[in-house]
A and B are shown apart, each in its own frame.
Chain A
């Protein structure tokens, strides 16, 4: 690391004290929602969601949205939990709570663009894991959702520099990471990792945040990182990206993460029509839009 970068890195770490804290609801609810089906305490989940008025309202809004057409209106948190199922509730809780710490940061990437990409990556990660029959599919959603959280950290801590990154990336139609490296001397992967450690996220998820653009063989859960890598890429290729055109051609099957997954799951990988899978992803556009509209409805953003 050159002295200039090192200086910047030090400055950055000292500034991290001003970083947002993990919403407390996620600390308590996260544990409840990750319990195995036998240990699931629905009453406790309903109670915790009900404590947080804006989260409860958002659960109801999503439960009543066009995405989940129902005969009767869902009126209580309990009904919402039962109607949507714990897994969907988990998705809503995470995707509505995670943006909160970053509310009010006007600079950088538009919040709605960022969360569309985040939710898209989460859903595609889960789906790809399901197709390949990767173990622990549930976790893939939670790994995909925050993988780019470093973008928000960079927007928050270096508003002007990061604005320049976005402008340059857009003008040159190149991947964000490359421009971050040139302009800032580090990428959102590194900033994201620092936040993940401060938030004490599970080690495999922190690792995915750090390595999702360049998975390496020594990771604790290399499969998870590889799935998220591909999901992130697919989202950027199918209209759920960073909000600008990336002029690149990708041979997904030749990407190392795909080869790693193919080696571990030869049968399911060989049977997957990647072109068809790509077309199928377009249906997430609607789902993601509904969720993001729900989070940022009335232009007020997360409360």
Chain B
């Protein structure tokens, strides 16, 4: 979310909406169902996004909307619509700067010197639920910018999967509007994109390390083959799953990671109460999950 659009949204959430106790109930319901948590400083976003859905279905008050989400026959459909609304617009290049910094400044520099890595010289990443590809291409650019110049002969391999064929077509096409690249400097755009009229097409050097594939995260057999990753990203996908499916999926991510690997959810998602083998780790401005190395002491991650 850019500062500008945040400011615009902020103006449209009224004080009465923000003070409505039903908004807190709504927040807690979303947290319970999806694992997305809106802190008070994000209430205006929650209010605004709920209002958008309420307008569509003709609901006027948060209490009524809460009922729609809990007691009405079509509650599951509406919850899905609301979650779509909540996570919309979060895919653009270099969104989630704190996580990008954690990966480039803390995690990648630690992976590269590992003794076991010297023979292969490869960092493997899985973007699970890659949507329209911005995250995967961002990681590829990040590697080219930060790691490749410092560590010769190193490569990154990114497996980007999604359930939607439409999304995968867009990923492969790699053609983005100005909005998607707004966080990139003119130099970076010039270096990694080819301008085609008002659109930006990703260059081959960024595309090369990425393999796009269709994968259903509920496909237990295929999930077993996803192995040997240093990093797994899965933002705003688990929120649509029930708790059993969440647990099953996260367990696959855990097994797919090498010991010492890291797992990242969306910005406000938490794994609490879902799967306890991962260790929650804090980076400046972001949180992630760490798969311990066998024999690693608690606290061995200083």
Binding site for B on A (CB under 8 A): 69, 173, 233-234, 236-239, 241, 245-256, 259, 273-276, 278-283, 285-286
Contact = CB atoms under 8 A, between A and B. Distances in A.
B301 A282 contact: no
B220 to A, nearest CB: 27
Contacts of B283: 237, 248-250
B279 A254 contact: yes
B40 A283 contact: yes
Contact of A283 (B39, B279, B282, B302): B39
A269 to B, nearest CB: 13
Given A237-B285, A273-B273, A252 B280 contact: yes
Contact of B301 (A238, A246, A249, A276): A249
Interface stretch (B48-56, B100-108, B146-154, B231-239): B100-108
Interface residues of B, number: 32
A285 B105 contact: no
B271 interface: yes
Interface in B35-52: 37, 39-42
Contact of B282 (A237, A259, A276, A280): A237
A8 B150 CA distance: 40
B300 A286 contact: no
Interface string B264-278: 000010111100000
Contacts of B301: 249-251, 254
Contacts of B290: 249, 251
Contacts, number: 92
Contacts of A241: 284
A247 B271 CA distance: 24
B128 to A, nearest CB: 19
Contacts of B106: 247-249
Interface of B: 15, 31, 37, 39-42, 101-102, 105-107, 268, 270-273, 279-285, 287, 290, 297-302
Given A247-B105, A254-B298, A275 B281 contact: no
27 contacts: A69-B15, A173-B105, A236-B284, A237-B284, A237-B285, A238-B285, A247-B105, A247-B284, A249-B106, A249-B282, A249-B290, A250-B281, A250-B301, A252-B282, A253-B279, A253-B298, A254-B279, A254-B298, A254-B300, A256-B299, A273-B37, A273-B273, A276-B31, A276-B37, A276-B270, A279-B37, A280-B40
A283 B37 contact: no
A183 to B, nearest CB: 21
B41 A285 contact: yes
B272 A276 contact: yes
Most buried by A among B102, B270, B284, B300: B284
Nearest to A241: B284
B105 A251 contact: no
The 8 closest A-B pairs by CB, nearest first: A273-B272, A254-B299, A275-B270, A254-B298, A283-B41, A283-B40, A250-B282, A280-B39
